[in-house]
């Protein structure tokens, strides 16, 4: 795949609408929280002025507290921007990515000239100039123990741990260990349900973070994103309540899936991946009810669903599932 070719993703709701019609869609194709952090009025200056060093520092402080780390960090336009910049920190070499996983890691590395090997076993990552582990993994929810990641670190040139879905499972995070050859990536938009804000973070050694900051330029994050991000990340009450809600709702969606004969492959508090008899047929049945899901080019059976965001959305999903797939 060339650097300019689009890679397969969830969230392509325009394609679903074009193919199946209708306007009242429930997009469950992503792992984005459909009960987002509540937006509030913002000071006028965050819209009219350039982002300030004080605003950027306040956001990083809030992020460090939320992710329980004192490591240097940089705010970026989503974890995606970090994924695109990290391959350019050093000259290309041999990268290994624990797969299957979020395909932008391998794509960005190849685009920057790296030789990329996608490996199915954790132990196969050893010896890489750069190794990538998404933890918990997307789409199967696989968890790599922090101790295993720490043991891997001296066996690779640089270790990238993408914790975009770790908010509800902080015990697996290595954010407090970021530094040396370890870079930890965090997403804001998924757990907080504000993906359109385009906000994420990288934590690591001071010199690495300075390098990423230089590469990103002086204003990679907008004033509104700085303000909203700092407020949301400081709101521990909302985060705790959201984690509790999601933990209960994954059991609810797993029960619905089990009732129609789908086997749980795995997942996180924000999405679940199931083995179906025919993923394409299951996706199409859901789509005819204007519920969009995610399937994968490497599996005829895997289908991923995010969690509905309201009682009405849960009712629609339950109805189409119980009507038979």
- Across the strands, what pairs with 130? 95
Which pLDDT score, from 0 to 100, does residue 325 have? 61
pLDDT tens for residues 145-162? 999 999 999 999 999 999
End-to-end CA distance of the chain: 34
Which pLDDT score, from 0 to 100, does residue 133 have? 98
Spatial contact of 195 and 219, defined as CB atoms under 8 Å apart: no
Ranges in the chain, pLDDT < 70: 1-6, 324-325
Which pLDDT score, from 0 to 100, does residue 63 have? 98
Phi-psi region of 91 (alpha: psi -120 to 50; beta: other; left: phi over 0): beta
CA quadruple 264, 267, 270, 273: dihedral positive or negative? negative
Compute, in degrees rounded to 10, the torsion defined by CA atoms 97, 190, 90, 5.
Answer: 70
Which domains, and CATH codes, for the chain? Answer: 13-36+237-322 (3.90.1150.10), 44-234 (3.40.640.10)
Task: Output the pTM of the full model.
Answer: 0.96
Element (H, E) at 296: none
């Amino acid at each position: 795949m060339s650097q300019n070719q689009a890679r397969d993703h969830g969230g392509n709701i325009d394609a679903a609408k074009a193919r199946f019609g209708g306007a009242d869609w429930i997009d469950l194709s992503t792992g984005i929280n459909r009960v987002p952090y509540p937006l509030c009025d913002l000071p006028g200056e965050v819209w009219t002025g350039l982002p300030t060093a004080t605003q950027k520092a306040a956001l990083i402080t809030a992020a460090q507290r939320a992710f329980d780390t004192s490591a240097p960090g940089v705010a970026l336009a989503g974890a995606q921007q970090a994924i695109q910049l990290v391959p350019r920190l050093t000259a290309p070499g041999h990268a290994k990515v624990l797969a299957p996983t979020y395909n932008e890691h391998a794509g960005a590395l190849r685009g920057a000239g790296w030789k990329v090997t996608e490996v199915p076993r954790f132990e196969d990552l050893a010896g890489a100039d750069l190794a990538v582990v998404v933890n918990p993994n997307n789409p199967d929810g696989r968890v790599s123990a922090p101790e295993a990641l720490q043991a891997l670190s001296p066996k690779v040139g640089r270790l990238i741990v993408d914790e975009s879905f770790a908010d509800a499972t902080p015990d697996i995070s290595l954010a407090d260990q970021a530094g040396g050859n370890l870079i930890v990536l965090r997403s804001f938009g998924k757990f907080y349900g504000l993906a359109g804000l385009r906000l994420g973070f990288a934590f690591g050694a001071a010199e690495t973070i300075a390098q990423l900051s230089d590469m990103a330029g002086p204003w990679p994050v907008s004033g509104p994103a700085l303000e909203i991000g700092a407020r949301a990340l400081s709101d521990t009450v909302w985060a705790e309540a959201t984690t509790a809600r999601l933990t209960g709702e994954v059991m609810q969606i797993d029960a619905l899936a089990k009732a129609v004969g789908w086997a749980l492959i795995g997942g996180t508090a924000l999405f679940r991946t199931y083995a179906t008899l025919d993923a394409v047929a299951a996706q199409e049945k859901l789509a005819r009810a204007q519920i969009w899901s995610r399937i994968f080019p490497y599996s005829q059976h895997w289908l991923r669903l995010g969690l509905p965001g309201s009682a009405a959305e849960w009712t629609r999903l339950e109805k189409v599932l119980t009507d038979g797939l």
